Structures are given as structure tokens and as C-alpha cells.
Chains A and B, each alone.
Chain A
């Protein structure tokens, strides 16, 4: 499933990553995991291919479509890729979730998605607790793009339910899909409503940190925050405009450009994901989600079954309830017990060894003493012989 893609056209921008504020990316590059959620047919696959300028995720073709039943289960499909730009390597994991919202009954359709995110946290935890920590497979989701149908009306209850749950587990970035189908006024109103819902329904979304010591960066962050939810357009095609190749969608009534700020927020979202905030997304995933989880777990603060309103608590409850995690916990306990037993054994063995050594030495000593006695006796007997003479 892994492929190496080299961006040949315009740079994607990941080379900026080492220069991002923290400057602590290792020589091996970085791992970035992005998840795509939202109803089918909103251009999730197209968007990710647009973002990385390569056919990262192939589109399902018609034959494939026919082989699937009409009633669908949400799939989790993982694509791994290594992107290289100016000698900087980015290990990219893209989690697509085809089939979401496709059924008559979509109750709990978010379950596979939410479970996947939780599993990554717990399996990372598992790996970290093992003595050998190298080569840990880390699929913790750093950013989840939630695609919203451009109805111009409101969010569906399904969107709200899914976003609520994802938001407590990963950096949630809401995105209005197919922005080229709403007029500027419709878009304005739609964004306003979505923001109101996010506020009223307590949906936690990712917010870029505002750096007080860097005015330009702060300005940029503010701009990003104001643009939420990002209106995006995706296209795998390029067209020649004034001698330059431009990504966009060509309609009989006009040409929509992906990277035109007048047309959509694609550039802003790309900047957030790949240029200015990738590291923050990675770090905050570790800090907020993983650390919260581990901290609570270690302090034994978890276990309350009550439907707590606290989002962090909720995500932890999930772990406590998860049979897989209970299994994992048992396994760890077994591991420690075994380790303890081994040490004990070794200690006993050592004691035994010392004991035998002591015995051996005592034995040797006794032998030597015996020899000495014998020799002394010999000496006296010889002296006696001499004395008689």
C-alpha cells in the first residue's frame, strides 16, 4: 500500500516543517496522519489527492461499485505514502472512511471512525510500554477533516453527532465540501450557521494557537480561525491558464481555481495542515489526547460510568469500556509479573551460586588444612628420627 511520490510541480510545502517554530524534527523526517470523514461523495478522496498533488488514493471504479451491496458499513482504509521534498521526508498516513452516511439508518455510523482513533492511542501506549521502543507504528490521528455537504442550510444531526465524538479525540477541522456550488452570499450564511452550531452544540474543533510574540504568525492564525469552517474545492486536473498550469474545475460557465483565495479557502487549509501548523497538530495530538489519556489512566482517575459532560473524561471512559484495552492491561500485568518472577529466580540462583562457591572454598580450605596437618606430622616424625641419631 505504500508508495513513494515525488511532487514534481509546485512544492507541496512540507519543507517548511523543519522550520516551524519548534525546529525539533528529527533527521528521519516526520510522520503525519490525517483522517477524512464525512458523507460519501463530498470530494474527500479528491481533496487529499489535490493537497498532495498526486493520485494518493485511487477512486473506486464502477466495477468495484457494483460488487458492493447497497447497504454499506463504514470502511477504514489506510494509505501510507512517503513524500520527499528537498531532502525532507514526510511519512504520510491517510485514513479514508468511505461509506459514511450512505445508509437509510446511519445510527452509530461514526462508531468505526471513533474506535479507530481510540485504538491508535491504545496501541501506541502498548508499544511505548514495551522494552524495545524502536520502530513503533504510530497511526494516531493528528488531524481529522470533517467534510460538510454544501446544502446552504445547516448541519445534519448525523454530522453533529459524529463531529462531537471526533472532536474529543482528535484535532477536528470542519470543511465545507464542493465550495464551488455555493454563491458567496450562500457561503457566508452557511458558515455563520455552522459556527453557531459548533458553539451551541459544544463541538470541539482545532484552533490554531495565537503566538503573542510573533505578530505575523498571530495574524495568520487569526485569519485561519476566522475562515473556519474552510470552504474547499478539489481537483485532480490542471488546465493551462496564461501559459501556466492551474489546478481547477472547468465548467462551461467558468473556471474555478483551487488555489484562488477569491474562490475558496484551499490555500489556508493547506497552510494550516502542511506549512504552519503541522507540528502543532502533531504535538497537540500527543499532548492533549495521548497525555490526557495516559495521565488519567495512570492516576487511576478513570472508571466513572456516568455520562460525564467532560469531553476528556468521555474519551477515557471509552478506553475503560473497550474490551481490547482491558485485554491489553491484563497482558501488561502478566508481563510485569513474569519479569518479577524471572528476577527472583535469578537472585535465588545467584544466592545458590554464592553458597556453592562458599562450600567449595571451605572444602578447599579444609583440604589445605588437612594437607598442612599431614605435612606437620611428617616434619615431627622426621625430627624424631634425627633426634635418635
Chain B
């Protein structure tokens, strides 16, 4: 298998320029929005409550997810649009938004910059949810890449949405880090390069700033927060690089002064904060580390940040997922080829058992990874099959992780709620692609929006037929060998398992209220499924009979001609497809 990421990178870089994704995280009012606008030297993001004043350069961020502990419909991203004193006491929850910009340099090189913001972070009474939600989001981006990497046929339009750097804005208190800062940075740094920065650094006099930086560095050390380090190799790197690294390292955490107001100072265009007692130039390195950070992010360390994200953070995550669950192999009933899937008629009973969740997910279609097998039922070559086997072995392991440990628990719920409502309108959602309702729009949704009906159908076929095949103990009349088809069944499931962790949406309140409904729905649909399965079995029996008859006829006409045999088989095949459709819709 070729190294997937290098492949992505090369393709993207050539076609669309460099991609870079940056997250800003921190309490409201620490200057995140102003920082982004200053960084791009373009007032692209609207400030909180200032959406109506957004200029022509601006763009309203797209909300990717949001959640709120209180069950209230409050959404940090929406609450931020317009000031409403009546709603001021509502906890905003936390949202994750994104804005994409293209930066074209003088030499026509392009940078596709995506800015991910986290409105609501730290603004709730209880902020326990905030860090967790962001971590889930970051993990999701890793999962997407993991799923894509293991695909046999990769999506040429796949977009790597991993976050390359997270600027963590520390409120200018003058004391040190707060619990939220320590907890947040510590947890985020597992998935992303965390660069701590001091927002609104013009709150400090020179000595206050020195003290505050020292306090923060002390706290980072004391609590062992693995923030981004500027390092170099004294032997390998040239002296300039070593010197630069040392300079940047001792400058951390960067003290930022940022602004939306442009001005010209000494003939140079810059941005300023204008007070009655003086004007602060954000690009004045004696008072602001902003220009340094800007050149670090968009210049000197852009590729470093990307490389560390992939080679270190992602790689660690991947290994962890794969190895942590290796011991659990065999725990999962459908996971290995030897274990037989339960009989379909038994399904209703399973519906109430825990394993139904897994089974349910296997049965549910509309999955990206599975599309790798689109129309592949018949045409797989032996080599490909082997390849799939290797891949799926890895995935099978990976997929179990979510059953394991605390972290998986909430996510599991989300997945459930996501998939079940989707089932009835599977076809519509699929064909409408990016036009899917907001609620369901996830990143994967947009990335794979053009998956077509044909793919979907064949995908479902594969899985459903597979189940039946094994249930009937290989009385398969189809053209493919029973061994091959069984393999595919298992592989498909495995692939689905992993990719099902991918599309998820964080609507806790919906989740809470609909929990009951969903469980009912699940039970009902399981029963319905069981009924259909029984019907299917019956149909299969009929088919078997017909097959026998045909065989008998064939035997009788063995010598006469082969043409009639082929037509008979085609007929059989078609009836299978009909049966499968009945299950799906």
C-alpha cells in the first residue's frame, strides 16, 4: 500500500496550493477574531454581536457542530450573531465553526487557509464540556484520514481536515494559568500542536508582561503541558536556524496585540489600537509578538506544523488506536472471518442485546468506506482481495476502540442517533449530496457529497447478500465463488465499522430529547428487519427450489447448450437484488 498522506499532499499542493488549518481557542473577548483579521490583514471574521457590521471582505463562519449541556437550544455560534440582553444569562454551550480563505502571494503561490473557531469556550458556568467537544472534533478529523487511508479506492476529492495548529488564547489576568487553561491545553495537545498565546497583551506594562510570561511558563512546566516547542538540532541545523529556534522558544508564550483598525505609520501600512493616551502598533515588535507569530505560522514553521501533525500526532493516534485494541480481538462477534454472523431470523432477539448496536450499524448503509466496494462484487481480482484483507484486519482492530473505555461512550450515542434517522431517507440524502439538511451536514458529508446511487446500491447489496450467504451456509448460486463473497462480507463490515465513527454531529439536546424515541425506533426497525429477513429467507428457499429445478433442468439439458444456463443464472441474480431492495428501503 502506498503512503497515503504523501500522495494527498503532492496532489493538493499542485492543484490548489498549500492547505493549512488553524484553530483558535480561548475565552470570548481574548482577541481571537481580531487576531485572525490581523493575520490575514483582512477583516474576514465578524466580531461577536457585530455580524451586521461585517464588511465586504468578511465571511460568516460556517457552524460545523455545536452542543450545549443544558438542553437549551442556545448555540454559541448563533447567540454570538446579535446582542440580546434577555439571553445574556444563557450558557452558550460550545460550537465549532470554520471559515476558509485563499491567500495568494505575489509570486502566485496559494495558501488555502481554514480557520476553525470555538465560540462559547470558557463562557459557560460549567465548562467541562468544552474541551471534550473540541477533542472529539479533532479526533474525528484523524478518523477521517484513517478511514481514507485504508480505502482501496481513494476519493480523489478527499480533503484533509486535520488541524495543524491550535492557538490557545490565555486571558490577560496577570496571575497564571487557570484550571480550564491547564486542562484544555493538556488534552488538546494530544491531537494538535498547541501554541499558547497571550491575548490583548497591551493590558500589561513591560514588567507585568515579563512576570506573566514567566508565571505561564512555570505553570506549563509544573503541570507538564506538552505545548509546541521550537527546537533545532545544534549539530545538524545551520546556526541561523538554531538561533531562530532559541529566540522563538524563549519568546513563548507569544504576547499578541491585534486590531481591526488599519493605519499608516511612517509610511508603512499596519494595524493599530488607538487610545486617548497613545497608539499601539500591532507590528511593533517591542510591544507585540504578533508579527513574529505571523511569520512563524504563515512562513517559517507552516510545514513543520503540518509535518508534526502527520508524522507525530496523527501517527501516535493511529498506533494507539490500532494497538490498544489488539488484545480485544475476537471480542467482537462479527469481527473475524471464522465467527459466523447470527441467523437473520434471530435478529429480533438480538435487537435488545448490546451487540445489536454493532449489528445495526453493520446493517445501516450510506457509508463512505463501503463505496470502495462499489460494483466490486463480481470484479475483484485476487490481489485486491488480499489487499482488502490486510486493510480490514487493521480496521477491525481500530473499530473496536469505541467500545472501549470512557471516551467512546458518548460518541456511541451520537452515532446511533445519527444513523437511525438517516435510514428512511437514505436515498434522498445520498443523492442530494451537499444539499443535505444542516443538521446532518458533516465534514464527511461534504467531502463525499457526490457518491452516486449506483454505488450505494451495490454497496448495500454486498452487505445484505453477504449476510444471507453466510446464513445459508454457502448455498450460493451466484457467479462469484462463495469464499470470495464471504470475505467481502466480512471486509465490508469491518470497513463500515471504522467509517461509522466518522460522520457524527454533536447535538446533545436533540440527543437527550430524542433518546427515547430513537431507542423505540431502533427496536421497531430491528423487528421490521427481522420480519423482512424471514421473508427474505422464505424467498431464498423458493429460490433454492427454483435453483434445484433449474439445476435439474440443466442436468437434463446438460449436453444441449450452455446459453440457457447463463440466462437462468442472470435471472437468479436479479431476484436477489429485488430482495435486497426490500430490506433497504
Which residues from chain A sit less than 8 Å from chain B, CB to CB? Answer: 39-43, 60, 62, 65-66, 70-72, 102-107, 149-158, 160-161, 178, 180-181, 183-184, 193, 196-197, 199-201, 249-257, 262-263
Q: Are B215 and A65 in contact (CB under 8 A)?
A: yes
Contacts of B222 in A (CB 8 A): 66
Indicate the size class of the contact surface on chain B: 35 or more
Within the assembled complex, what's the spacing in Å between the Cα atoms of A150 and B131? 24
Contacts of A43 in B (CB 8 A): 174
Within the assembled complex, what's the spacing in Å between the Cα atoms of A193 and B83? 8
Tell yes or no: B519 within 8 A of A by CB: no
Q: Are B277 and A102 in contact (CB under 8 A)?
A: no
Q: Are B88 and A200 in contact (CB under 8 A)?
A: yes
Within the assembled complex, what's the spacing in Å between the Cα atoms of A197 and B88? 7
Contact of A106 with B126 at beta-carbon distance under 8 Å, contacts A71-B179, A201-B88 already known: yes
Within the assembled complex, what's the spacing in Å between the Cα atoms of A41 and B216? 14
Contacts of A104 in B (CB 8 A): 126-128, 131, 179-180, 183
Chief secondary structure at chain B's binding surface? loop
Tell yes or no: B468 within 8 A of A by CB: no
Chief secondary structure at chain A's binding surface? loop
7 cross-chain CB contacts under 8 A = A103-B178, A105-B126, A151-B28, A156-B123, A181-B172, A181-B203, A252-B287
Tell yes or no: B274 within 8 A of A by CB: yes
Within the assembled complex, what's the spacing in Å between the Cα atoms of A197 and B30? 21
| Other-chain contact of A102, B30, B48, B179, B218 (Cβ < 8 Å) | B179
Contacts of B48 in A (CB 8 A): 153-154
Query: Closest residue to B200 on the A side, CB-wise?
Result: A181
Stretch at the interface among B1-9, B134-142, B245-253, B278-286: B278-286
| Other-chain contact of B83, A72, A154, A161, A250 (Cβ < 8 Å) | A154
Tell yes or no: B81 within 8 A of A by CB: no
Q: Are B49 and A153 in contact (CB under 8 A)?
A: yes
| Other-chain contact of B88, A40, A149, A157, A252 (Cβ < 8 Å) | A157
Tell yes or no: B312 within 8 A of A by CB: no
Q: Are B28 and A161 in contact (CB under 8 A)?
A: no
Q: How far in angstroms is the closest Cβ of chain B from A57?
A: 14
Q: Are A253 and B88 in contact (CB under 8 A)?
A: no
Q: Are A253 and B126 in contact (CB under 8 A)?
A: no
Within the assembled complex, what's the spacing in Å between the Cα atoms of A263 and B277? 8
Q: How far in angstroms is the closest Cβ of chain B from A313?
A: 20
Tell yes or no: B545 within 8 A of A by CB: no
| Other-chain contact of A253, B30, B123, B279 (Cβ < 8 Å) | B279
Q: Are A65 and B88 in contact (CB under 8 A)?
A: no
Contact of A41 with B175 at beta-carbon distance under 8 Å, contacts A199-B85, A200-B85 already known: yes
- 7 closest Cβ pairs, A-B complex: A151-B29, A41-B173, A254-B278, A254-B277, A253-B278, A200-B85, A196-B85
Q: Are B276 and A184 in contact (CB under 8 A)?
A: yes
Q: How far in angstroms is the closest Cβ of chain A from B224?
A: 12
Contacts of B125 in A (CB 8 A): 105-107, 157-158, 161
**CB-CB contacts below 8 Å: B425-446 with A:** none
Query: Closest residue to A248 on the B side, CB-wise?
Result: B277
Q: Are A256 and B277 in contact (CB under 8 A)?
A: yes
Q: Are B85 and A72 in contact (CB under 8 A)?
A: no
Q: Are A157 and B203 in contact (CB under 8 A)?
A: no
| Other-chain contact of A201, B85, B200, B203, B287 (Cβ < 8 Å) | B85
Within the assembled complex, what's the spacing in Å between the Cα atoms of A40 and B176? 10
